[in-house]
Structures are given as C-alpha cells and as structure tokens.
Chain A
C-alpha cells in the first residue's frame, strides 16, 4: 500500500491509490519507522495516489505533528491539481514543502539521484 526508499538521510514514500484509513495507517507506520531510524527528512510522493480522502488528511496531520516534534522536514511532491488546491485551502501546505516532483525535492536536500 505504500512503497518507500531511503536515500542517505531522506526517505521517499509513495502512497498507492486511495489514501484512506488503510493506506493511511501503513503510511503512518512507515513514517514512524523512518523517524525511529533517525531519518527526519520525509518526501511524500503522490504520483501514484488517486484520491486522498478526509481520513487520509487527518493521518497526514498526525505525520506532520510527529515530524514537527522531532524537528523533521516533510515534503509533498507530485500532487495533482485538485489535491494541491485542497491542501492549499486547508492550510496543510504551511507545514510542508511542496515540490513539483521527487527530483526537485531531492535536489533541495542536495542528494544525488541514485536508482
């Protein structure tokens, strides 16, 4: 339901399909695991996400809160137009960095792109 990869101190996570309670829970678990390993830069890439429902949004809030506590940084990448508008409207984008795609986020963290 979520696929992730770690690149040095950055983790990229790809929630798949429908970000509801189920996918949301495994997403949260994955983030917690990263934080547990000391990775505090998390990129959530939504290129594989079709819908984010309100439960998904509340889970994103939990992740934001947790990362804030650990002084981490959260990035959103590849948001579709609707989700971007919604995040903007809800004010979520104030608590995360938004990039057009994963590469731009990684560039921001100055990480070489490796496969």
Chain B
C-alpha cells in the first residue's frame, strides 16, 4: 500500500481522529471550517494517521481524491518544490483513477510520460493543466510555477467534480521555502492560504511540536477557516496493548509489571515500537521491567530512537558550533525545568551571545524538537531528555559511550515498583547519628530483617555519620542520608560536602599497632566493611558520598 503504511489492524487508538478527518470532506458549507491543523510532538503518529486516511480514501468508492505530500528539507527550493509537488499530485491522481497504488511512488515516470496516460482516460483538461505548468517551467517564472503547483488540487477538484483532500505533512517546513538561498523570500507560505479557502479541497496540515502551526498563519481571515487538532499521547492501556502485540509478533512475552514503563514512554507510538524492536534485537524471550530499562539505555544512546533523534539534530543543526550551543541550551532547559522568556538572561546563564542563541532557537523550532516562539518551553519528553543528556555527555563532556549508557541506566535502576526510598538530613551535633540509626531500625523492621542485621546496619550508619561529621569541612553542618530499599538490597548513602577520601589509601589498622600508639582512632571504615556487604566511596562534584550496601539474602530475613 502507499508509502509503507502499517496494516489497518495494527493501527490502534485513533478511531475518533480518523473518522473525524474522513467527515471533513462532507462539509460543503463554505462558512464552516474545513481545514485542520494537526499538531503533536514528534513520533506521536501524525504521518501514520494521514497514511491510514489516505488508504481508506484511496479504496473507498466515495470519489474523494486523496493527495499526500511530505515536506522535506531537501526540496525547499521553489524550483524543485513546485515541480515535485505538481508531479506527485498528478501521479497520485492517476493512481487513484486507475486504482493502481504502484504508480504513487513510481518516481521513474516523468511528467511528460504521464500525459499520454491521461489522454487514454480522455481527460484533456488535465493535459492542459500539465502543459500550462510546463510552460511556466520553460519561462523560468518561479512565482507562476509555485502558484501552479499549489493550486493544482483545487483546479482538479473544480474540473473533475470530485473533492480533493490535501494532506501536507510536516507543513511547518513550508516556512523555509526559498528561491535562490534560504531565507530570501520569507512570505512564500502565504500562497497556500489562498488554495485553502476552496471548500472542495480541504487541507490537513501537520506540524511539530504542539503550537508549531498557529504561529505560521498571520492572516486573521484565514485563521477562522482552520481548526486545530492535537494528536495526544496514547492512553496507558492502549499503549500497553500495542506494546504487547508488537512484542508478541517478535515472539516475546511481556510481564505485567512492564505496564509502568508505558507511562515513561509517554504513550508515544514511535518509542513503543522501537522498544519492542530493541527487545527483539537483544534476543529477549520474556521481558521484565528490568529488561526494559536495560534495553532502554541502549535504545536512547545507540538504538533506533537515538538514530531518529540524531538524524533530526544532524539535519537541522548542520553547523558544529550551532549544534554545540543547541546541546548546551537544551541541557540547561532540562535541568532548570522552566519556561524561558528572556533571552538576555539565558544568554548570561550560558555565556552565549543573544544572536547565536536566536539562530539556534529558530533551528530547534523548525526541527520540531522544542517550541521556541514566544517562550522556550522545556523538553518534557523523557526519551528526548535522555537523548540530550547522552549527547551532552558525549560531545560536551567527552565521556566514554559505555560509561554514558551505564549512567543512564543507573538513573533508573532504582525506579523499580518495589523500591522504597527515605531521605533525611541530620545536623552535625552530638548523638545525631542515633536518630539515623533509629530510622534504619524501623526500615529494617518493615522488611522483617533479623535483629542482628538491623544492629549491623545501625552500627555502619553510626560510623559513616561520625566520619562524615569529622571529615567534612562543610559550612551547613548537615549530613544527608538516603535509604533505598528494594527486594534485592538495602543501600544507604551518606553524603556531605567536603573532600573525597580514598578508602584504598586508608591503612588497615591493627590492634597491636594501635595499642602502643598515641593515635588509637581510625576503626570506622574497618567496622563498616565488617558489617556490610559492600562500602563504596563516591565523589559527586565537591561532595563525598559513602554508600553502604547490604544484600538481602534469605539469611538476613526473619
């Protein structure tokens, strides 16, 4: 079928949208809106919805002529665009008349070869339209070529008596049409407005992200003729059943616990599909939540999803300098979580001059990565966030890809359902460590740890707190504790600002030495190691974190 659309039975959860768009064509009253601006984040399924609509119109007897055109960065030069648009229309119309879908994408038939085919159909007016267009090409009149192309659907609707449904995918790119070099004739897009006022050729325009298209149309009279439709995320149930059936097709069974992951994917069919493929590539037979996180860290750094986003980045941010600015800017937006209205402030925060920021923001807008007109909206898509993190770590911090993957994975390792997490801060005052010890006592009781194990955890915490209090030179005089409990282990992180210490350089104390020495202290680390399964010392910027780990094996539980 045309343009590799997915089989009808696999297209889920868009019944309402599809039937609404099908009815569009029946509206004959010119007072009623019959153009649709279909907006949605990238990968949400705009193109697929158009393809499904196309297929259904193509085969049904109602004689509505479907026309699909996808704007591409490579064909934005008016001379190419006009010819491409016109030729595709003619080809699709012919395919529709002959009910032969193979003609639609057959690029090897040039315009001139199409003329005899129309003469066998006795459509002389069509031949005239084609010849007129070719005249404009010969004359080199760009304006007439563009007008001829854009108005062809309406012209055919008028002559044939059959309405044409014009579907323009990624229409936000049309703002970039140019004559000789990008940006030379900014207003070309307004030519579409005229063709959209015809009731016999309603248009569906798509754009990313949400809000991308409303900015395009400046003509108020036109605005009243278009209606906005936002394609939203798939609800969790639909998303999960889609994921399950995709996995089933690969012979993978999916555990119920994986439902939770759909929320994280934001009901985005592109991500759902890619995750199913990733599981298959990693040869999973059964998928647990843990498998999903593992595959995810791969998917977002080296998999198909990463490829999807990086081709968008590469395509729209060709200049290396620009790309770097974009990465820093997006990273900033992720970390600050807030909408930015004032470019001056952003420029100061990033140390990047306003004009450079502006051009990068334009590129980001047109690529559909984020909405930047008016204000810069933060990236909310989890997957895009992680992709950007990955780019940042790779290109700005120049970290090793393997490590980056681990980093991303570890962000989510503890997001397990059964994980509970407690945090507390204690002051650096006498016996404050006993308060922390009391906390772990209750946490231990909650999961039925043996009393001996609880005292061991308490002792280790006491030691870690004492260490932190004695060695951290912090001003705020506070120790941060984080207890993370999951079915496999308990992790207690004790964190303070202050110098890192390397546990490997701490000399192991012995009784014999200490008995004869003035300095009898220094048993803390040894004690912690004795009672815990693992003790790690980590540095995060200027903070030091000691992580105490106890594995939950059967012998530690009552």
Interface positions of A (Cβ within 8 A of B)? 18, 20, 22, 51, 53-55, 57-59, 61-62, 64-65, 68, 80-82, 85-86, 89-92, 94-95
Contact = CB atoms under 8 A, between A and B. Distances in A.
Interface in B440-472: 452, 455-456, 458-459, 462-463, 466
Given A64-B515, A86-B527, A95-B511, A55 B452 contact: no
Given A18-B434, A51-B437, A61 B527 contact: no
Nearest to A92: B511
B406 interface: no
Chain A binding surface, main DSSP class: helix
A61 B511 contact: yes
A86 to B, nearest CB: 6
Contacts of B466: 53-55
A60 to B, nearest CB: 9
Given A20-B431, A54-B523, A54-B527, A82 B510 contact: no
Contact of A81 (B452, B511, B524, B530): B452
A57 B523 contact: yes
B455 A53 contact: no
Contacts of B456: 82
Given A64-B515, A82-B452, A82-B455, A58 B521 contact: yes
Contacts of A20: 431
20 contacts: A18-B434, A22-B430, A51-B434, A51-B455, A51-B462, A54-B466, A54-B521, A54-B527, A55-B521, A58-B522, A61-B515, A65-B515, A65-B516, A80-B455, A81-B452, A82-B452, A86-B459, A86-B527, A86-B531, A95-B511
Interface centre among B437, B459, B463, by most A CB within 10 Å? B459
A53 B131 CA distance: 95
Given A65-B515, A82-B455, A82-B456, A89 B521 contact: no
A45 to B, nearest CB: 18
Contacts of B515: 61, 64-65, 68, 95
Given A51-B462, A82-B456, A58 B511 contact: no
Interface in B511-530: 511-512, 514-516, 520-524, 526-527, 530
A80 B514 CA distance: 24
A90 B514 CA distance: 11
Nearest to A17: B434
B97 to A, nearest CB: 87
A94 B515 CA distance: 12
Contacts of B463: 53-54
Nearest to A81: B452
Contacts of A68: 515
A56 to B, nearest CB: 9
B444 to A, nearest CB: 13
Contacts of B459: 51, 53, 82, 86
A83 to B, nearest CB: 9
Given A54-B521, A92-B511, 9 more contacts: A22-B430, A53-B459, A53-B462, A54-B524, A57-B527, A58-B514, A82-B452, A82-B459, A90-B526
Nearest to A61: B520
Given A18-B434, A86-B530, A90-B526, A51 B458 contact: yes
Interface string B362-381: 00000000000000000000
Nearest to B437: A51
A96 B434 CA distance: 28
Contacts of B430: 22
Contacts of B522: 54, 58
Nearest to A22: B430
A78 to B, nearest CB: 15
Contacts of A59: 520
Contacts of B527: 54, 57, 86
Contacts of B434: 18, 51
A90 B511 CA distance: 7
Contacts of A82: 452, 455-456, 459, 531
A32 B36 CA distance: 92
Top 4 nearest A-B pairs by Cβ distance?
A58-B520, A54-B523, A91-B511, A54-B524
Contacts of A95: 511, 515
A67 to B, nearest CB: 11
A37 B179 CA distance: 107
A89 B527 CA distance: 9
A54 B529 CA distance: 13
B510 A18 contact: no
A20 B317 CA distance: 62
Nearest to A93: B511
Interface string B176-210: 00000000000000000000000000000000000
B523 A90 contact: yes
Nearest to A57: B523
Contacts of B514: 58, 61
B79 to A, nearest CB: 81
A25 B194 CA distance: 92
Nearest to B433: A53
Contacts of A86: 459, 527, 530-531
